[in-house]
Amino acid sequence: MARKTVRMPKAHAVVRFGSALALVAATFFACSSEDQSSAAGGSTATTPTGGGGGATSSGQPGGGEGATFLPDPEICAGHAGEIICVDDVAITCDADGKTANEQDCGDEVCLPGTGCVLCLAGQFSCHGNEVLSCNTGPPLQWDVIATCDPLAAACNPTQGACVPLTPTGGTTPTGTYYQYARFLTASSAFLGGCDVDSYQDLIYVNRDGAHLDAYSVELLDSDGDGEFEPNQHPDNPDDPGPIEERVLTLVQTYDVPELGPINRSEIYALADRVYFLDYDIPGKVFMYVFGTGVVSTAVDGPPTAAFPMLGHDETDGTWFASLHYERQVFSYHAPTQAWVAEFKYPDLSGDHMDGIEVVTDPNTGMAYVYVTDMTSDFLGQYRRDRGGGWVQENLFEYAGTADHVEGMGFGALNHFWATGWDPPDVLYEIGGGDLAKFTEPDEPPPR
């Protein structure tokens, strides 16, 4: 049989998954693991641009640096000497009714007759957990009118209030995916453990809280047709045929005493380092660099909650975390150094949440947050909408072995990789089908 090591770019923004709540709940979770604010009422809020997390609106403070546009000789016709607005672009018309200047308002808003302004009367916005109201002054400014408790509510820029989250999306499947490789400690190179992520063809697993095992995965041309087909599956109508074999090889073990207990931690892998979350140290994200063996703090967030699951959106640098039974997802808002409530998802009949991952669609550049319950029969796909809220794009389902999810990552073979306990401990691969349309380039498979 031909043998190939498949190295593909990591198309996701990080995440970690399924860590469990507590060791005392080991019969359920075995391997998995859950201020800065201004005074409300009249205090001035300075809102920097950029940074992940928190709901936003078109009136979010910041921006105002204009791009250069080609003058349109018709756009100022009938508006001589005026400032007009077209799609949040402020256009200054000269006395002859021609375009004199154009400025993209960016995160500000365009006010006819004035141009780009910070905000408009009656407008609300969000800055992390802070609810902002436009104070027309003078001076024009955003005022903090409330600060939300992320464990209870999220800032709503439409209502201008802290609003409790309700589950977003439904429980009716809209697509399918499949299970492929399944490595058991009793019959493969897999040494066990939970909390997993992947970078290119490498898969990293927290074995016991002090050892990080790095494995390579190879795809075999086991059907002998001269092609390497990671999505081939007897039940996959897009790529039918026998599942091609995979070979798992232990490459290296790193001693990381601070890695955290396997039932309450998670991993995000890059080429030269891993980030990890420890349930016992709430709010923080740590970094271990392979070359130096040094552990440092990457995110020094407040102890909002003991998060057992972690994810990362590499498109904008946003960290995500989540809670088990609440099935609630948070993001880290770097400008205010706070964890912010984002969305909840419905009960997917898996007892509790145990997986989260962020994967960027290589065809559209859209970052999706994927969530799953302890059993992996369902994989929810979520995206942030233009108003800062969240939409359930799809709910993928598979009729597979239903291994427990106790950690989940994405990378090798453009598939998700999960760990669980059977027993024995298991490392397995899921993907393909309708899910592949969002995780792999158009060719292959066709969109």
Q: What is the CATH number for 408?
A: 2.120.10
Phi and psi for 425 in degrees, rounded to 5?
-60, 150
Tell me which residue has tokens 């892998």.
Answer: 269
Q: What's the CA gap between 403 and 430, in Å, rounded?
A: 11
Instruction: Find which of 97-111, 116-130, 204-218 is predicted with most confidence, using mean pLDDT.
Output: 204-218
Q: Is residue 134 part of a domain?
A: yes
Q: What's the CA gap between 341 and 129, in Å, rounded?
A: 8
Residues 28 and 124 in one domain: no
Residues 91 and 187 in one domain: no
Pick from 160, 190, 210: which residue ends a domain? Answer: 160
| pLDDT mean over 41-65 | 34
Residue 27: is its pLDDT beyond 70?
no
Residues 32 and 47 in one domain: no
Pair 179, 429: CB distance under 8 Å: yes
Residues 311 and 188 in one domain: yes
| pLDDT mean over 44-73 | 39
The per-residue pLDDT for 256 is: 94
Q: What is the count of structural domains for the chain?
A: 2
Pick from 105, 132, 160: which residue ends a domain? Answer: 160
The per-residue pLDDT for 13 is: 33
Residues 304 and 219 in one domain: yes
Q: Is residue 70 part of a domain?
A: yes
The per-residue pLDDT for 267 is: 92
Which residue(s) pair with 182 in the sheet?
Answer: 428
**26 vs 229: which has the higher pLDDT:** 229
Residue 275: is its pLDDT beyond 80?
yes
The per-residue pLDDT for 21 is: 28
Residues 143 and 25 in one domain: no
The per-residue pLDDT for 319 is: 97
The per-residue pLDDT for 72 is: 67
Residue 271: is its pLDDT beyond 80?
yes
Residue 232: is its pLDDT beyond 80?
yes
Residues 179 and 195 in one domain: yes
| pLDDT mean over 331-343 | 96
Q: Is residue 65 part of a domain?
A: yes
Q: Is residue 187 part of a domain?
A: yes
Q: Which of 27-41, 131-145, 184-198 has the lowest mean pLDDT?
A: 27-41
Burial 258-296 (b: 16+ CB within 10 A, else e): ebbbbbbbbbbbbeebbbbbbbebbbbbbbbebeeeeee
Q: Is residue 446 part of a domain?
A: no
Residues 284 and 373 in one domain: yes
The per-residue pLDDT for 222 is: 96
Averaged pLDDT score across all residues of the chain: 83
Per-residue pLDDT tens digits for 368-390: 999 999 887 899 999 999 878 99
| pLDDT mean over 180-193 | 95
Q: Is residue 67 part of a domain?
A: yes
Share of the chain above pLDDT 90, in %: 67
Residues 26 and 107 in one domain: no
Q: Is residue 295 part of a domain?
A: yes
Residue 440 Cα distances to 12, 135, 284, angstroms: 11, 47, 32
Residue range(s) defining the domain that contains residue 145:
43-160
Residues 95 and 190 in one domain: no
Q: Is residue 61 part of a domain?
A: yes
Pick from 108, 127, 160: which residue ends a domain? Answer: 160
Residues 324 and 431 in one domain: yes
Residues 95 and 132 in one domain: yes
**356 vs 72: which has the higher pLDDT:** 356
